[in-house]
Amino acid sequence: MENKTEKKGGKKVIFIVIGLVALVIVGAGAYFGYTMFSKSKGTAKTTVQTAAKTTQTQTETQQTNQNQSYLEQIVSEKNVGLDECLINLADEDGKRYLKAKIFVGYDKNSKLETELTDKKPLVRDAVIAVLRNKKAADIVPKNMDAIKMELIQKINPLLKKGQINNVYFSDILVQ
């Protein structure tokens, strides 16, 4: 009788050992499969994100170069001063400001000159609205052409008798 009990107990141990080995193999396979799948998925996602960032950077660079070349080519025949502006910048501490004397340039058009004179408060308000959203770090020479283009795009819809073609900063101080 003892032989039968030993055989039954031996078989149970063997089945338990085989079950544990099978469980370890299945777990290792699942882990290996998951890590390989997640790496390929993560790599594809990273590649897509990198490509999107590269495309965005190239587009911004091309736009900046186009803006810069456009503004360098345009020399306005006439201009109107908007007086000196003192503007709080959008920095976190709230203690930074921009002091600038700004002129808007346009081609000879006496009607536009009178319109700009009449709408000077509206034009100044548009300039202040754009510059108020800038931080001190944004007011650097490499960004000035983009800021000028933003100002032109903000001011031109206000005008009915012509369009400005350039913005000039004669004095600029950031503190």
Query: Which string of DSSP letters, residue by residue, matches 94-106?
Result: S--EEEEEEEEEE
CA–CA gap between residue 113 and residue 108 (Å, rounded) = 8
State the chain's mean pLDDT as an integer. 79
- Residue 78 pLDDT: 87
Cα separations in angstroms, 172 against 9, 14, 87: 92, 86, 11
pLDDT band at 37 (very low <50, low <70, confident <90, very high): confident
**Edge-to-edge strand order for the sheet containing 78-88?**
78-88, 97-106, 166-174
Is residue 75 pLDDT above 80, yes or no? no
Q: Is 82 helix (H, G, I), strand (E, B) or coil?
A: strand
Reference 128, options 72, 161, 165, 90; nearest CA is 90
Angle formed by the axes of helices 120-132 and 110-118, nearest 10°: 70
Terminal Cα distance for the chain, rounded? 99
- Nearest Cα residue to 105 out of 159, 173, 143: 159
Over residues 106-150, the pLDDT tens digits come to: 888 768 889 999 999 999 999 999 999 999 999 998 888 899 999
